[in-house]
Structure 1
Amino acid sequence: MPVKLVHPENVNRVEVHHQVAVAQGSRIIHLAGQVSWDTEGNLVGHDDVAAQAEKCFLNVAAALDAVDATMADLAKVTVYVVDLDEQKAGQIVEGRDRAAAALGVELQQPSTWIGVTALAAPGYLVEVDAVAVLP
């Protein structure tokens, strides 16, 4: 595994993700933002932040699989949330954790969450982009 996740001693420990990822490898994978659409382009989880987050992370996994990578290869995740607030933050964690359970992995890579006013298409509440590293 080319990515080692770290909780530094002198930085606030956040339980939902690690603060640092040390990545060593020769292939860097940059994913486009993944929204909660199915393979036909239909919105999954209308008005449901947790369902949309879950589908976004499942789509990240599918995109990584297409290049022979896994969620364990993730070095950094960015989550964009329409009108981010504390309640939606909890729903993002819920959706992420459901995706992790479905995939049989732990998703605690360093992440940044950004509140936005809108995403590219009406109805989308969450978008996730990511960077992975392969040996």
Structure 2
Amino acid sequence: MAIATNPPGLWPPFGAFSMAMIQGDGQIVHLKGQVSLDRHGHVVGSNDMRAQVHQVLENIRDVLAAMGGQMADVISAVHYATDIEQFMAAADIRKAFFVAPYPVTTTVQVERLYHPDLMIEIAAIAEIPRTRFRHPESATG
């Protein structure tokens, strides 16, 4: 049975989704697609792809940290970008968050995201070793 979690310190979900799903013994974690929102749900970096990529990766890092995870635990990521050229130009920011071996990725260009100021959404799957994994405080489900 999967366990849903919405770690403290991030913007609260406003729809039918959780920030992450913990599968099995808690090693495999499915993260909800993260967008460039701060902890209060405000858009960070309106129309600035670089600022948005940075905020999205910080959000992913924070969700993982709530369970004892690290960015190195990410095994797969799907990027939804409204401008693929701008997204690819932010590769240096992604490299600041990830180290080799890098996660497998899929990148697609989309017409828009749910808010017109958002330019990037990244969904991820991570495997957190049992020795580090901890159930987050706000686990529900």
Decide: shared fold, TM above 0.5.
Answer: yes
Task: Say whether 1:80 aligns with 2:59.
Answer: no
Give the TM-score, by structure 2 length: 0.67
Does the CA contact (< 8 Å) of 1:76 and 1:111 recur in 2?
Answer: yes
> Shift in Å at residue 70 of structure 1?
0.9
**In 2, Cα distance between the equivalents of 1:52 and 1:88?**
10
The amino acid of 1:120's aligned partner reads Y
Gaps in structure 1 of 5+ consecutive residues:
1-24
Higher relative contact order (CA 8 A, sep 6+): 1
Gaps in structure 2 of 5+ consecutive residues:
1-23, 130-141
Map residues 91-110 of structure 1 onto 2, 5 A cutoff.
Answer: 91=90, 93-98=91-96, 100=97, 106=99, 108-110=102-104
The amino acid of 1:97's aligned partner reads K
- 1:36 maps to which residue? 36
- 2:65 maps to which residue? 65
Does the CA contact (< 8 Å) of 1:52 and 1:95 recur in 2?
Answer: no
> Shift in Å at residue 53 of structure 1?
0.5
More helix by share: 1
- 1:118 maps to which residue? 112
Identity of aligned residues (%): 33
Give the TM-score, by structure 1 length: 0.69
- 2:89 maps to which residue? 90
**In 2, Cα distance between the equivalents of 1:94 and 1:41?**
26
- 2:121 maps to which residue? 127
Does the CA contact (< 8 Å) of 1:76 and 1:110 recur in 2?
Answer: yes
Aligned length: 104
**Aligned alpha-carbon RMSD (Å):** 1.9
Does the CA contact (< 8 Å) of 1:81 and 1:127 recur in 2?
Answer: yes
